[in-house]
Every structure is written in C-alpha cells, then in structure tokens.
Amino acid sequence: MPRSIWSGVISFGVVSIPVKLYAATESKDVSFHLLHKECQGRLRQLRWCPPCGREVAWEATARGYEYATDQHVVMSEDDFEKLPLASRQTIELSGFVGAGEIDPVFYEKSYYLEPEKLGEKPFALLMRALAEKRLTAVAQIAIRNKERLCALRPLDGTLMLQTLFYPDEIRLQRDAGVPEVQLSEQELTMAFTLIELLSGPFDPAGYRDEYREALMSVIEAKLQGQELLEPPALPHRAVDLMAVLRASVEAARNGKEASAGPPKRRRVAAV
C-alpha cells in the first residue's frame, strides 16, 4: 500500500470529508549515474561551503530567501509549519466548473483521494454529484511547502485531485500565430478524411514508451558487446502537400482495414 503524502479534509459547504492523498503517477525514466570519463568512477555531488572550505552534512543545512545580494532570511521547519494557511489541512471547494473548461496547459500533477472510514458516505455523495452534473471542483491545497490551485474530478470509481499552474506560471507566446497561407478546399477535405480515419476513443494501452525501449535495447547491446544498429533515416520533407495527404490517407485506410483492434499510433509522411 503506498504511503499517503497528505491528509486533511475536503470542505464542501458545512460538510467535512476526512481524506488522504496519494500520488497517482510514477516516473518510468531510465536513470543514469554521472561518471568520470577517465576511470568510470561514480562522481559525488557535494554540498560545499566556500566560506568554511568544507563539505556540509544535510542535517546542517537551512533554507534561505535571498532578499538582496548574498543577504538571506533563514527559514526553519517550524516557520513552514506555522504558515497561516487553511489549505495546509483543508481542501475547501471554492467553485465548480464544467468538466472541459480547464485548458490542459494548466494541469501539473495527478493524485487520487481516499476517504477515511467516517468520510465514506459524504465522499461518495460528492463523487456522484460531480459525475452526474459533469462538473470539476476547484480548490487550493498546500503540499510540500507550496499552495497550489487544484481540480477535483471523478475518474473510474475514485476522486482525482490534479494540481494546476497559476496563470502567472504559464508561458504563452502571445505573438506566435499561424502564418498566413492559402489552403485549398481539396487540401482541407483530405486533411479531414485523414483525421476521421485516425479518430477513435483514447486507449492509453495502445501506446508505449518507445524511447525507453530503444534506450534499454542499446544498453543491453552494449552489455553483450554487440554492434549498435544505425537509427532509421528521417523521411524527406515533401513539397507536394496533396500528394503527401493522399499517401497518408491511403496508409491510414489500409492500416484500419488490416487491424480491427484499438487504434494504434501510426507514422504518416512528413510535410
């Protein structure tokens, strides 16, 4: 059973629902150690204090906010614990929005909530209400020394909590736009046909981390002393957009006829 990273209550009007918060995702990245090229010894990262000229143990460190050059306000763990924030222990639902109203660019990390024994009934009530009304609840929660905006929504029999970026954390290129080009009706029709052929319900099981698989195959080959294969050549950029669209539609149509299973990611010719 994973360990909860936060516990508190969901405040829904005058209803309090005791809950625990668990991480809903985990990284599957392949990790590497940093080595010295010459002897392949593993390097150490030291917490070095230049004024003292020595390494500092983790327990001897403190966090400081730099308010001027080399001038810091030192913060202790007690300072963080005493922050006057209700969101440290309470997820107060401040509003409800349509399930599709929050743009995906705002989503940060995903967690799932689990009710304590005494909160099971109001927890189920909240989940049922959100599901039937197709709503997402908006709130704030303080996790790991930061207060985050968050969204709560039902998913597959549980209540998901997803932290959101604040508006000033989003980097939007306001001046970036679509270049003005002329598109023919034929090109649009062919693009619509291609999109329709590749459309279907989202099935995450139909995708896999091909980069990680390729990386592990290279690592395995090096362990076995085998020769590494050359990467596939990049496709040539095409000039004739209609020809590329026709070829893409034909490939998608053939692929759909050949497989009756869930839609898989297909490569189409580059433009």
- Cα 103 from chain centroid? 13
Same domain, yes or no: 243 and 155: no
Contacts for 2 with CB less than 8 Å, ≥ 6 apart: 22, 23
For 260, the domain range is: 181-201+235-271
| 57: in domain | no
Residue 222 host element (H or E): helix 210-223
Same domain, yes or no: 137 and 103: yes
Does residue 270 surpass a pLDDT of 50?
no
Dist CA 217 CA 47 (whole Å): 35
Same domain, yes or no: 17 and 146: yes
Contacts for 86 with CB less than 8 Å, ≥ 6 apart: 92
- What CATH number is given to the structural domain containing 87? 2.40.290.10
Contact in structure between 137 and 151 (CB atoms under 8 Å): yes
Same domain, yes or no: 16 and 89: yes
- Cα 3 from chain centroid? 20
Residue 122 host element (H or E): helix 120-133
Same domain, yes or no: 189 and 246: yes
Please indicate whether residue 202 or residue 151 has the higher confidence score (pLDDT). Answer: 151
Question: Which amino acid appears at position 187 of this protein?
Answer: E
Average pLDDT of the segment spanning 193-217: 83
| 197: in domain | yes
Give pTM, 2 decimals.
0.73
Does residue 229 surpass a pLDDT of 90?
no
What pLDDT does 271 receive? 41
Domains identified in the chain, total number: 2
| 42: in domain | no
State pLDDT tens for residues 147-174: 899 999 999 889 999 999 999 999 876 6
Same domain, yes or no: 148 and 191: no
